[in-house]
Amino acid sequence: MSRPFRFAVNMLNAGTSAEWREKCRRAEALGYDVILVPDHLGMPAPFPSLVAAAEVTERPRVGTFVLNAGFWNPTLLAREVASTDQLTGGRLELGLGTGYVREEHERAGLPFGSPRERVDHLERTIVELDRLLADPEHRPAAAQSPRVPLLLGGNGNRVLRLTARHADIAGFTGTTKDAAGNLHLITPDALQERVAAYRGFAAGRTEPAELNYLVRFVAAGGDRRAKARELLDQAPGLAEDDLLAHPTALTGTVKDMAEQLRGHRERYGFTYFTVLEPALEAFAPVIEELRG
């Protein structure tokens, strides 16, 4: 039996304190299960934003989507994770990735390693976090036991192996990086191959991970094919039919989009979907449709 759906919104803008709190209350009222914050320069600082979100909501979990491991020392990160988990009443989900924006590292005065070096650092970070947060003497202590749920995001084989070994949630973006460092969407068939690779690496798990996907476009109303054509310039390399079949884009009526998500659950096994903040309102009727 497949898992029930979960839905998250990744908040990209903080605004004032009052505006932030109101957006978080609105996300809860609209039915979102998780309020997420990314880890990019120029966007809200993750941990204080999540504490503020938890203070004004009761039901949603809160999480990072995803932390750039290259920004973080594992020992200091363990302190942030444990403190935030305590201050949010045990509602934290920790998302981690290698980081992919060289320019942000340069602005922060931090090294931007090779892909191998970045995955090596991600692995060290995961192992050290597990060691520190499992230590009964670690202070502060996290609220959740045996640990805060971990989401790992990535598509390469090494990250997928790490995800299979360590993560409670496998996060897929359906992207690849070109030689210039630009991200491009892969085709639905290539995405299916990446999910199959993960499943192969995770074959020995006793507890299957939840599979997450980031939805980049929510284009409600009108003809699905016409909406897809409007989005093609934002998805270079994909044909119109690819975009119509791709979980990165939801198009058409509320019922159309709900049916697309059911199809993605059937094809890929995705049950946990994240939308970006601009789609906060537009996606909410789809949540209601799927739960109604």
In a domain, 202, yes or no: yes
| Count of domains observed in the chain | 1
Q: Which of 69, 15, 8 is nearest to 43 (CA)?
A: 15
Question: What pLDDT does 179 receive?
Answer: 63
* C-beta separation of 64 from 39 below 8 A: yes
In a domain, 36, yes or no: yes
Q: How far apart are CA 128 and CA 72, in angstroms?
A: 12
Alpha helical stretches, state H, the chain: 17-29, 46-55, 74-87, 102-108, 115-134, 157-166, 188-201, 224-231, 240-245, 254-268, 280-291
Look up the pTM and report it.
Answer: 0.97
Question: What pLDDT does 176 receive?
Answer: 84
Question: What pLDDT does 222 receive?
Answer: 85
In a domain, 99, yes or no: yes
In a domain, 1, yes or no: no
Question: What pLDDT does 94 receive?
Answer: 98
Domain with residue 65: its CATH number is 3.20.20.30
Question: What pLDDT does 1 receive?
Answer: 60
In a domain, 102, yes or no: yes
Q: Which of 211, 219, 208 is nearest to 260 (CA)?
A: 219
Question: What pLDDT does 158 receive?
Answer: 97
Q: What share of the chain is helix, strand, coil (3-state, %, to 5)?
A: 45, 20, 35
Question: What pLDDT does 42 receive?
Answer: 94
Q: Which domain holds residue 117?
A: 6-291
In a domain, 195, yes or no: yes
Question: What pLDDT does 177 receive?
Answer: 76
Question: What pLDDT does 133 receive?
Answer: 96
In a domain, 230, yes or no: yes
Q: Average pLDDT by consecutive 10-residue portion of the chain (292 residues)? A: 91 95 98 98 97 98 98 98 98 96 95 96 98 96 96 95 98 82 88 98 95 97 92 91 97 97 98 98 98 88
Question: What pLDDT does 16 receive?
Answer: 96
Q: How far apart are the first and last CA of the chain?
A: 19
Tokens at 108, concatenated: 């922060």
